[in-house]
Amino acid sequence: MRFKLPIYLFAALLLCGLPLLAHAQLTINTTTASDWKISNGSLTMDWDSTTGNVWSMYLTAYPSDDLVDGTHTGGDGNPDGLYMDNTGSNMSGYGPSGVTPTASYHQDGQIYLDWWISWAASSSSPFTWTVHYILQPNDPTLYSYVVANHSSSAASANMGQVQYVYRINTTDFVNTYSVNSGLNNLGATSIVLPSQADMWTTDPGRAVENAAVDLHGFSLPSGFGREFFTKYDYSSYEYLHQAHGVYGSTFGAWTIVPSTESYIGGPMKQNLIFTGNVLMGEIVSNHLDNEINYVPVQGTNTTRIFGPVGFHFNAFGGSISTPAEMYQDALNTIPSALTLFANEGELDGQGYVANGSERGTVKPTISGAGSSSANTAWAVLSDQKKNIQYSSNGNQYWASGNSSGDSTISNVVPGTYRLSAYVLGEWGELRDDGITVTAGNTTSPSLTFKPENFSPSGDSAIWAIGTPDRSSHEFLHGKNTYGSVGSCSGCDDREFYGDWNYWADFASNSGAVDYYATAVGSTHATNNLNDWNYTQWGEFDPGLYDSSNDTTDNYEHTIPSYVNTLSGHSGTNGVTTPVPPWNVYFTTTSAQSGQGSHVDLSVGIACDESNLTASLNGHSLTWNALNKSDCSARSGLSGYYQWVVFEWPTSDLDAAGSKDTLTLTVSGSGLQYDALRLEISGNGANPSTTGWHDYEYITSGTDTAADDAVSSNY
């Protein structure tokens, strides 16, 4: 059945404050290669068929207001506007290097217009790469999707970034707006953007790190309370992500995510959504998670669709008077977008499966994996035999479960998936491969999740620090609520790790963390997570300056003098001195010591760039990092999540009631902690005994990696 422009779309145009043109039509004029003229009655735009850039964009009701940043131009002299910025095998920027693109279009009457630019595969570029754009009549939304084809005879390939960049008009869009950017940052967040002149023109020498600018010395725009600017702070977890945007006194521009199915990395993946005045749509990225890439199966013809993603435009007026109403207007386009996609011939020809009867439903019941708290229990469909964080070749879906462990995952493309389930606050993850989805049917797996505790009663840890929720948010400087008071008035500690001074924070312990996990003699248990920093650094030397010193290494002038007296001190005033080991002190009782012959330390690592050595009363075990991610330096609170279990014999403990010491030492840049737990068990944590394979197991002479390829805990 052909798609007809629905009545509610006309109503939506009126609601968003844009006048409806009764005789508007889809039109495309391809006379000039660098300037295809395209219009749908609500939007008019100029598109370069030699580069793929939408380099000018107007709302028809506002013909004098170009929504593109005209000051940022490319090699062809046109503004960059909206374009793809991809990286991978012989891929950089718009498309594969050394390949001349071709462009074409298909117009289905007044139903839709699909036009595209394509770079063919070559001996040096393994992908055929095509970027499509879609318009339907009188809809102020431009949709786009990307198709990557890889033939069975092509060389091996990878894609590290599939990312839309929209360089938006910097004077018309001066605020960002995001909603539910993290499970610990729910609700709406609006941030005033620093002016481009303040950031880059007035004093460009004040960059302190890649994409991090220290703003202390600038006259900040009204309403801007942030001390640093870094693009990595503008990132959103995909759990609840539907849209984000920028707005000003008149206009709003929004990236819409009608479905996250073609994204990669699962619901805990963080993607960039803004870089200053750049509005982004990041589908694939190894930002904050360095090892994740799209890698097509070698020796097989593959087609991978990324998107579609929408770019919606609106204006204040009519029923829209607040940014929240602008945002809701953007969300209201998603149902009509899915209807459009279901009837779009070019998209269908690439293998897109229409929503509805051509898809299936998965309704898992997972005993033990429920929660009465919203957004706590999660069920995820993803690539088989992979950790969900590395799922990249197939589609992905997720839903939050109820208190009984029931959830519903709708509109699933037919295929065979891994079902993963976890509960934030519990250790462990259920993994069950072979979940088959068929068109028009409901699959209802019934499984049981057991929290992965090693102690005999299941929850009798000797001590625990933090909550195993896959983020370091609860510790000192792990705050991720914009506008909250962190280390300085109005600061957000995620902005940049130089926003606070680790050496000053822990001066009383000469740079070490000394944490009493239990009472020891007359010393009470610490019971204060602000005494545990969210990152254990290998060394702490952020770039800084002050208003009278324009250098980027000014931190050497503010570092406490005691640092230069520490072991291994180096650099001016000790700035590159290794951070001392962290210590956890505790005691055990006779009853606890009698629980078994194994001491098991669980360490949940939210983000890692370093090896970790754990020493129990001088008996050391070392974990050599496998999957590194750089969120500590990029203002994130998690990257690739990992769980490591260190195991010692109970003979390594001191006598019951005596003081035991656990020492933690990192190399390199350090790591972020999610949570720690110490147990005494009878059976131990060896995966061959427990049947659990989602953690790395380390004991004297043994290092067993997590086995992501096997199902477990179901």
203 or 643: which leads in pLDDT? 643
Predicted confidence at residue 6, as pLDDT, reads 38
Identify whether the C-beta of residue 693 lies closer than 8 Å to the C-beta of residue 687. yes
> Looking at residues 102-117, what average pLDDT do you find?
96
CB atoms within 10 A of CB 75: 7
Strands lying side by side in the sheet with 415-423? 397-400, 377-382, 415-423, 430-437
Structure tokens at 601: 């330390």
For the domain spanning 7-194+232-349, the CATH number is 2.70.98.10
Q: What is the DSSP letter of 496?
A: -
Q: Could you identify the residue written with the tokens 């669980």? A: 602
Structure tokens at 17: 């404050």
Instruction: Give the CB-side neighbour count of residue 495, counting CA atoms within 13 A.
Output: 26
- Give the Cα separation of 427 and 470 in Å (integer): 10
Query: Could you tell me how far CA 511 lies from the centroid of its own chain?
Result: 31
Is residue 707 pLDDT above 70, yes or no?
A: yes
Q: Among 3-17, 147-161, 527-541, name the one with the lowest average pLDDT.
A: 3-17
pTM, two decimal places: 0.92
Buried/exposed code over 245-275 (b: 16+ C-beta within 10 A; e: otherwise): bbbbeebbbbbbbbbbbbbbbbbbbbbbbbb
Predicted confidence at residue 10, as pLDDT, reads 39
Using a 10 angstrom Cβ sphere, with 0-12 exposed, 13-18 middle and 19 or more buried, the burial of residue 45 is: buried
* Maximum mean pLDDT: which of 190-199, 206-215, 260-269: 260-269
CATH 1.10.3720.10 describes domain 361-448: no
Strand-pair category, 642-649 with 696-699: parallel
Strands (E) located in 438-477: 442-443, 446-448, 463-465
Residues 6 or more apart in contact with residue 318 via CB below 8 angstroms: 14, 15, 16, 17
Query: Could you tell me how far CA 518 lies from the centroid of its own chain?
Result: 35
Predicted confidence at residue 487, as pLDDT, reads 55
Predicted confidence at residue 234, as pLDDT, reads 82
- Give the Cα separation of 629 and 270 in Å (integer): 12
Number of H helices, E strands in the chain: 8, 46
Predicted confidence at residue 4, as pLDDT, reads 36
Q: What is the DSSP letter of 552?
A: S
Predicted confidence at residue 217, as pLDDT, reads 67
Percent of the chain at pLDDT above 70? Answer: 89
Q: Where are the domains of the chain?
A: 7-194+232-349, 361-448, 463-540+579-704
| CATH architecture, range 463-540+579-704 | Sandwich (2.60)
What are 263-295's pLDDT values in tens digits?
A: 999 999 989 999 878 999 999 988 888 788 899
- The C-alpha angle with vertex 598 and arms to 595 and 601, in degrees rounded to 5, equals 105
**Per-residue confidence band for 714, with pLDDT thresholds at 50, 70 and 90:** confident
Q: Among 152-156, 346-350, 604-608, name the one with the lowest average pLDDT.
A: 152-156
Average pLDDT, the chain: 89
Alpha helices in 351-431, H assignment, sequence order: none
Cα 475 to Cα 52, 493, 528, 535, 611, distances in angstroms? 45, 11, 9, 9, 21
Our CA dihedral for 134, 137, 142, 143, rounded to 10 degrees, sits at: -40
Query: Could you tell me how far CA 19 lies from the centroid of its own chain?
Result: 37
